[in-house]
Amino acid sequence: MHDVERELRESGNERLAELIDRLPDAALDDQNAEVEAIVPEALALARSAELPWVEIFIRHWHLQATGDGFEKVPYAVETLEFSHREEHRACPQSVCTVQDLAHAYSGADGPGYAEERLAVVEEALERIDPSWDCFHCMVVEKVNALSDLERYEEALEVAREGRARAAAAGRDYGNAEDDVTTPLLRLRRFQEALESAAPRRDERDDTFARWRQMARTEALIGLGRIDDALAELADPEPVLREPRYHLGWAQDVERLVRRGRLTNDWRLGGLLERMVAAQVERGRAWDGVQLAAIHGRLALWRGATVTARKALDDMRALAARLRSPERAHAFVRALEAGLERMREREPVLPESAEAFLDAWRAEERSDPELDLERLHAARRRWPDELQVAWGLHSALEAVGREEDSLTVLREFADAHVEDADAQAMLAHTLIDAGMVGEEVERLAERLRPLDELHAVWLEARAAYREGEMERARERAEWIVERDQEALNARRIAALACEHLKDFEAALVHCNGVLGHAGEDRLASAHWDRLVPATIVGDWEAVRASAAALEIDVPGDSGPIDVDAGLIRLRFAADDFVIALRTGPVSARVLNVGLRDEPQHAGDLVVFDAEPVGTAAEGELITFPVVHVVAEGPRRAYPFDGVDPGDDAWNAFVDTLREEGWVIDVRYREPEYQLEVDGEQRPGIYGHLAVPDDVDDAAAHARLGELTAEWEGPFTWLPLAEAAGDDSASAQQREHAEALALY
């Protein structure tokens, strides 16, 4: 696809080129939310440009990311048909769509469709040779089908033969899926599996690395090396993102629980509940049955019968989707028998709902999973008590049953339409979960005759959550006009104004918050005000808020520009730079982008003081950019050559920075060495941005002047070429070729 990307850029379709360049990496990094965001835009651009081969490529990677389950089988079938039309059969990705269909059925019900998967993959393998990129993918699908048929020795032979044929064709798949490892694990050849799944040199955190990590965990448990297995066990967060990992992770966790090395509590139950829900959503029936069985067994071991019953219900629903539902009968019967042995009794409740709630809240170490039985009983006994419904909602949410938790609040709100608190509680919960839309609008209308201010507040919050900043501002300001002390409405108004780039109005609202905030909210209010105050240049307000926050800033008036250390800035989800902090919420970008990189060189920005995530020890803190106050230079060029030494380099950089240049060193010794006349010399490579008022010829001349006394070759070849200096370009090109620069 590299040629296609180049052609797209040359023809002006840069956005489509960017999307298809990013899509495979997003899929392999398990960034499924990003994949789902990329695909609709990419498909629309490909179709408008009448590029069906690109559409097939996009569909293929979409299916690779999220296409393993019954829910995506129709899409996989449609993509296969589209790619095998006569006019598209020559597309290289047409073979990949065969793998996509096998992949979809593998996730849906691996053993149930193993023979058919085996047949289509073998047919596809006859059409390609080992030099093709898709050869290994097809071998992996064949190995998986054979493993689902429990033909493990044959699967291992196929995997090794495939690797050998690929190697003979000059292809190395050592960093791809561990096709050899899976049959080794099923054959209980744990030491060989452990060696096969060893970390690769310089491996990145992607799907291949995570599969190897999970394989190592299983192998170490099999070898009895439990401490090492615990160290290898994958963190739940990346596992939760991708349903393909759920069953293997849960199996390892159950083994470790059985050995008394992991705690079997409601938190683990909550993780498994979310995993089972993801299997149901994607239609991964066979993995889902096995996962629900693990979830139910662990729930029974900790006495959580409500959770075990839910697991049984999910298991039955998933079993019904199997090609042969009887394959799940043993799992179902085992969990039914366990529940039969643990018939629960109706909990004993106090005389009043108030007494129940007081007792429940007083329990410092309450277990929400075990609380469910009491809360269900309390809900049945006091169906008109909102706080009892809220307690049940909270417990269900804590154990991963988000949809059931919302159902509790929905049923209460529908049964008590004249209860303003019930309507508001459900609406705010939906907004917090990002579920804005018609349901919230309907609840706001219910609430309006009961509490108009609160109804408008719901509309303001929903609009802000949906990114409708004009409406969010209008609704929030409507509230503030009627209630000067409505601090949350003022905050929404201020944030909406910032999004709309009306920073003067945002500052007015921030001042209003400060005028009414209590002591416990003053600090956050001052941090909020620093953003619009810095952008509009209200340095008196900036200094007042800095003083209130005990931040030392120089001078009594005027702009603030200090060296407050390095930070990391986020311009977008995949756009980060290093910057020098120049004030409480201001910074100047130090990185220089080149070629396809976003360009922010020298930009003066204002950022939100709330960090993005948590920085590990030794890492820079990341802040999100709110506004670019002033752009830096936009013309950028690389430089490369022999490092002149610290004194000469620092003088060079200081001089150019004073003249408005931005210098960004990317590589320097000891990691970068050059061989000059048979001798190893320290190298230096990076990017520079030229001030807008300095043309290329003047910039070229200035670099020549400043480096005239340097001993080793130092080049800025693309700038020399842009300046039209043929003699210097030829000399620098000679150096670049001799030293393998750039």
Q: Give the DSSP per-residue string, 153-178.
A: HHHHHHHHHHHHHHHHTT---TTS--
Asked whether residue 413 falls in the same domain as residue 493, the answer is yes
3-class secondary-structure state, position 687:
strand
What is the value of pTM for the model shown?
0.75
Asked whether residue 324 falls in the same domain as residue 278, the answer is yes
DSSP 628: E
pLDDT at 86: 87
Domain boundary among 612, 630, 648: 630
Asked whether residue 357 falls in the same domain as residue 487, the answer is yes
* Identity at 278, one-letter amino acid code: A
What is the Cα–Cα distance from 693 to 58, expressed in whole angstroms? 43
Domain boundary among 480, 501, 522: 501
Asked whether residue 689 falls in the same domain as residue 640, the answer is yes
Asked whether residue 292 falls in the same domain as residue 432, the answer is no
Q: Which residues of the chain have pLDDT under 50?
A: none
What is the Cα–Cα distance from 369 to 58, expressed in whole angstroms? 43
Answer whether 703's CB lies under 8 Å from 718's CB: no
Greatest C-alpha distance within the chain = 97
DSSP 97-166: HHHHHHHHHHHHHTGGGHHHHHHHHHHHHTT--TTSHHHHHHHHHHHHHHHHTT-HHHHHHHHHHHHHHH
pLDDT at 611: 93
Residue 221, C-beta contacts closer than 8 angstroms, at least 6 positions apart:
229, 252, 255, 256
Domain boundary among 474, 501, 528: 501
Asked whether residue 357 falls in the same domain as residue 471, the answer is yes
pLDDT at 427: 98
Write the CATH number for 448: 1.25.40.10
Reported as a single tens digit per residue, the pLDDT across 336-373 is 999 999 876 778 889 999 999 998 888 766 789 989 99
Asked whether residue 363 falls in the same domain as residue 326, the answer is no
How many degrees, rounded to 5, is the angle at CA 676 between CA 675 and CA 680? Answer: 45
pLDDT at 344: 67
pLDDT at 134: 85
Q: Residue 308: which domain range?
A: 234-344
715 forms beta bridges with: 640
DSSP 575-615: EEEEEEE-SSSEEEE-----TTS---TT-EEEE-SS-SS-P
Asked whether residue 496 falls in the same domain as residue 375, the answer is yes
What is the Cα–Cα distance from 140 to 178, expressed in whole angstroms? 8
pLDDT at 342: 84
Pull the structure tokens for residue 599. Answer: 């360009």
What is the Cα–Cα distance from 379 to 199, expressed in whole angstroms? 52
pLDDT at 159: 92
Asked whether residue 616 falls in the same domain as residue 651, the answer is no
Asked whether residue 311 falls in the same domain as residue 293, the answer is yes
pLDDT at 175: 63
Answer whether 528's CB lies under 8 Å from 547's CB: no
Q: Tell me, yes or no, whether 659 lies in a domain.
A: yes
Answer whether 294's CB lies under 8 Å from 259's CB: no
Q: Tell me, yes or no, whether 298 lies in a domain.
A: yes
Asked whether residue 377 falls in the same domain as residue 291, the answer is no
